[in-house]
């Protein structure tokens, strides 16, 4: 009896290796490139302004991704995220101001700020998450406004409208020599001095990376699946047996704690804290725009949204100025490209992104890749 050869048997698509959609691969590639640039930013972009932008991007990736846990994965609209961000920043700043520049001050003040954020998140969550979305959003907006007023009025503790400056540990000072050369001077790598500024940047970068990895783990866990079920149909999730209010409160507290930790990083990097820097409603608007641009419910979209928005905010004026100079001989165009009109073009850029990427950059690419598969 002849035996059929196994090599002649066709392999079904189900048993073959799972193919990753092209759109998802594109998103992963973009995020990997951004991660590489941030990892080596002090050496790739050695000027002071570029390092400030890179550090801000690291912190805001954590902040925006934590907000995406709420609005993108659970469907919770909150305007109190900057309040938690500010609590972490102010707790760290007050401790460094009163206790002096030490890691114990960062640990104690940051822990106090994170604990305060957690307690407020529990109270707001338990009292407000039972109501409809619009009413919960109004409650969080009121809480954020109260915190903004308190930060401005309690000037003995917070510095009021002027904010407060302070010193950070000597390890993070530009005068600190991480590595010395043979002459006793600070060593250089690719022309960049290996001083405390590099140590501070990599402390911010590595902390942001760990927090972002933790959020990736959350959305990939069973908790992430429950949150998406709540977002799609809250009544059905409750009918299945999930305690919706408990899950919503839990993720609200988790997001608040992560936002407060981002505030700690921001305070240590800036060496300054004020209402306009960590508590203003303009920051909340920026967070919303970054989530929408990147793509809600993707986490990776936070990376793309923060980078696009940050580069536009910091470098669009320079780009327009260069464009105006290059087109100086042409009619009308130089006037349209005047740097003072950068907000106009930022709005146009946002409209174009929403038009061509209705689900955000990452969300639209992943959806297209899924259809092709």
Note down pLDDT in tens along the chain; length 373 residues. Answer: 444 444 444 444 444 456 667 878 888 999 999 999 999 999 888 888 888 999 999 999 999 999 999 988 888 888 989 999 999 999 999 999 998 888 999 999 999 999 999 999 998 888 776 666 678 888 888 888 889 888 888 888 888 888 899 999 988 888 777 777 767 677 777 778 888 889 999 999 999 999 999 999 999 988 888 888 888 877 888 788 888 888 888 999 999 999 999 999 999 999 999 988 898 888 999 999 999 999 888 899 999 999 999 998 888 888 888 888 888 777 788 788 888 888 888 888 888 888 888 888 888 888 875 544 4
Tokens of 14: 């189900």
Contact by Cβ (8 Å): 138, 115: no
Q: From CA 146, how far away is CA 164, in angstroms rounded?
A: 20
Contact by Cβ (8 Å): 148, 142: no
Tokens of 283: 């920051």
**pLDDT at 7 (0 to 100):** 43
**pLDDT at 17 (0 to 100):** 52
> If DSSP codes are grouped into helix, strand and coil, which group holds residue 273?
strand
Q: From CA 233, how far away is CA 97, in angstroms rounded?
A: 48
**pLDDT at 12 (0 to 100):** 43
Q: From CA 148, how far away is CA 115, in angstroms rounded?
A: 18
**pLDDT at 121 (0 to 100):** 92
**pLDDT at 233 (0 to 100):** 78
- Partners of residue 239 on adjacent β-strands: none
User: DSSP assignment, residue 341?
Assistant: G
**pLDDT at 5 (0 to 100):** 43
Q: Is the dihedral of CA 101, 107, 108, 112 positive or negative?
A: positive
Q: From CA 93, how far away is CA 273, in angstroms rounded?
A: 7
Please name which of 119, 137, 120, 118 lies closest in space to residue 129, comparing C-alpha atoms: 137
Contact by Cβ (8 Å): 140, 120: no
Tokens of 244: 């919706």
**pLDDT at 13 (0 to 100):** 44
Domain ranges of the chain: 41-302+361-368
- Whole-angstrom distance between the N-terminal and C-terminal Cα of the chain? 41
């Amino acid at each position: 009896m002849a035996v059929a050869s196994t090599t002649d048997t066709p392999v079904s698509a189900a048993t073959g290796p799972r193919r990753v959609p092209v759109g998802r691969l594109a998103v992963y590639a973009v995020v990997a490139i951004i991660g590489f640039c941030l990892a080596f930013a002090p050496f790739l972009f050695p000027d002071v302004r570029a390092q400030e932008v890179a550090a801000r991007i690291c912190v805001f990736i954590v902040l925006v991704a934590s907000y995406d846990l709420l609005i993108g994965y659970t469907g919770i609209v909150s305007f109190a995220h900057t309040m938690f961000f500010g609590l972490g920043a102010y707790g760290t700043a007050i401790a460094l101001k009163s206790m002096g520049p030490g890691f114990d001050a960062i640990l104690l003040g940051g822990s106090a700020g994170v604990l305060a954020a957690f307690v407020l998140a529990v109270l707001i969550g338990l009292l407000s998450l039972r109501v409809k979305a619009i009413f919960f959003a109004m409650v969080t907006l009121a809480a954020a406004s109260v915190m903004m007023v308190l930060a401005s009025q309690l000037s003995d503790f917070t510095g009021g409208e002027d904010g407060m400056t302070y010193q950070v540990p000597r390890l993070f000072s530009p005068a600190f020599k991480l590595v010395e050369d043979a002459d006793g001077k600070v060593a250089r790598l690719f022309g960049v001095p290996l001083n405390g500024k590099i140590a501070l940047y990599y402390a911010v970068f590595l902390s942001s990376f760990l927090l972002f990895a933790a959020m990736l783990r959350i959305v990939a866990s069973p908790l992430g699946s429950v949150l998406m079920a709540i977002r799609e149909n809250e009544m059905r999730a409750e009918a299945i047996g999930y305690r919706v209010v408990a899950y919503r409160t839990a993720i609200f507290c988790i997001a608040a704690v992560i936002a407060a930790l981002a505030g700690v990083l921001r305070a240590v990097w800036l060496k300054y804290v004020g209402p306009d820097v960590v508590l203003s409603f303009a920051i909340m608007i920026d967070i919303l725009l970054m989530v929408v641009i990147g793509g809600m419910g993707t986490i990776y979209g936070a990376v793309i949204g923060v980078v696009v928005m940050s580069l536009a905010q910091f470098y669009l004026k320079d780009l327009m100025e260069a464009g105006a100079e290059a087109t100086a001989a042409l009619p009308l165009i130089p006037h349209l490209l005047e740097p003072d009109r950068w907000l106009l073009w930022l709005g146009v850029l946002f409209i174009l992104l929403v038009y061509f990427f209705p689900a955000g950059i990452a969300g639209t690419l992943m959806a297209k890749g899924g259809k092709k598969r």
